[in-house]
Structure 1
Amino acid sequence: MPTPLKIDFVSDIACPWCAIGLAALEQALARSQGAVQATLRLQPFELNPDMPPEGEDLTEHLTRKYGSTPAQQAQIQATIRARGAAAGFAFKPEGRGRIVNTFDAHRLLHWAGLQGEAPQLALKRALLAAYHGRGERVDQPGVLLAAVRAAGLDEARAGAVLAGGEYADAVRAAEQQWLRAGIQSVPAVVINDRHLISGGQPAEVFEQALRQLAQA
């Protein structure tokens, strides 16, 4: 019988390595179906919680935050595209263009999660594809609602969530919970509340860890 595992995937839509990590984790789960029965919950984390409404140019942001040069950034972007392709995620070759605030997207993901694992995962995939695959601004209501439609969720209800402040407190509480738990970078994959796998690992790394924990 497959071993039940609880998996919390802590991530931000703004993080390209989170797109890679989620795609690779899904590959690993598909390969481990006979050994593992996973419950996957997507958890919020904001890399830039103080990002203003206008956002920030990606190159300027990376230079300011990490001190990297445009040449170094281009090399990293090439690596990200290659790793994404290996995991089955297609990044827009020109990149995202701007870093934007992702808090409303996390509110919608919380709302989707209340409806179940599959709706939340479908919305997460749609948001990552919009931002990293097409370079769309996931702080804009139109883009967010298009992702809701793509995920097959109730667009009118999602619009009401965006128009008000629903789930803001719940998202902030969850973010603080993971910060208190010691999560400082994402993606962070937490299994059974005890085992941490950091970073956008290849599917093989996730699969090996899942199988080891299933046998433990």
Structure 2
Amino acid sequence: MSSSSGLKKLIRVDVVSDTICPWCFVGKKRLEKAMDETKELYTFEVQWHPFMLDPTLPKEGIDKNEYHRNKFGLRTQGLVDNINKAFESVGFHFGSGGKIGNTLDSHRLIELAGRQGLDKQNAVVESLMINCLTQEKCVSDREVLLNTAESAGIEGATEWIDNPNAGLKEIQSKMEKYGHSISGVPHFKINDKYELSGAQAPYSFIQIFQKASQDLD
């Protein structure tokens, strides 16, 4: 299907990410910039898939600064400085304080949102990451989850969140399907063929969009 015919080509993007991952948020913003710069050429379908950087994190959360110090030691400040610069490059400030908690429930909410529409799913991902990574809130906190669901217009969220088994099999299946062959996030797959890892520059996405679109000619 050629763009010269007046019809835009469809670019499908599968994103594997975790809601506590700062580089996933930066990658999301850079992907969106690439999409915005090429919106006259393509239509986009973005779907989010779960990955848990640390499944051992408690649901009640632990101090984020302490967690980073224990995990990264002397490298912590340098890593935080790099994250701050990356966030500033996409117009945000990284919130390094607050608590960091288990992300399973946030992924279950993303699963529910996806069933109600990819736009809603994207809105939930955006809100959760903003809450955790800029506003220093904990994504495992029930109130944060419910407020996120309400702001995105998600139906049935209270019953879903309060049932620990809701969506659990789907999350486990998707983590196996999308996460078994990757070592970190964010990870992007375009039109089931081209892959990118990390918070790539917008131009890197645009190059892949061009390759993927050529396959559709």
User: Same fold, TM exceeding 0.5?
Assistant: yes
Q: Deviations over 1:56-93 (max 9, x none)?
A: 3334433444x431xx322222221221222234322x
C-alpha contact (below 8 Å) 1:4/1:39 kept by paired residues: yes
Q: Retained in 1: the 8 A contact 2:194–2:208?
A: no
Matches within 5 A, 1:1-150: 1=3, 2-65=8-71, 67-69=72-74, 72-92=75-95, 95-150=96-151
List, as ranges, runs of 4+ consecutive aligned residues in structure 1 with deviation greater than 4 Å. none
Q: Which runs of 5+ in 1 are unaligned?
A: none
Quick check: 196-205 or 73-82, which moved more? 73-82
Q: Hey, what's the Cα distance between the residues in 1 that align with 2:161 and 2:131?
A: 17
Count of paired positions: 208
Query: Which blocks of at least 5 consecutive residues in structure 2 are unaligned?
Result: none
The one-letter code sitting in structure 2 at the alignment partner of 1:99 is I
1:209–1:89 Cα change, 3 Å: farther
Give CA deviations for 1:150-177 in whole Å, capped at 9, x if unaligned: 22333xx111001112101111110011
CA contact (8 A) 1:36 1:211 kept: no
User: Alignment identity in percent?
Assistant: 29
Change (3 A) 1:58 1:18: same
Counterpart residue number, 2:213 = 214
- In 1, Cα distance between equivalents of 2:31 and 2:24: 10
Equivalent residue letter for 1:68: G
Partner of 1:179: 179
Cα deviation, residue 194, structure 1: 2.0
Q: TM-score, normalised on structure 2?
A: 0.88
Rounded Cα–Cα distance in structure 1 between residues aligned with 2:187 and 2:112: 21
Which residue in 2 is equivalent to 1:192?
191
- Give the whole-Å Cα distance in 1 for the aligned partners of 2:53 and 2:10: 31
TM-score norm. by structure 1 comes to 0.89
Cα distance change on mapping 1:68 and 1:196 into 2, 3 Å:
farther
Q: Please report the RMSD computed on the Cα atoms of aligned residues, expressed in angstroms.
A: 1.7
Q: Deviations over 1:191-215 (max 9, x none)?
A: 1222110001122222222223223
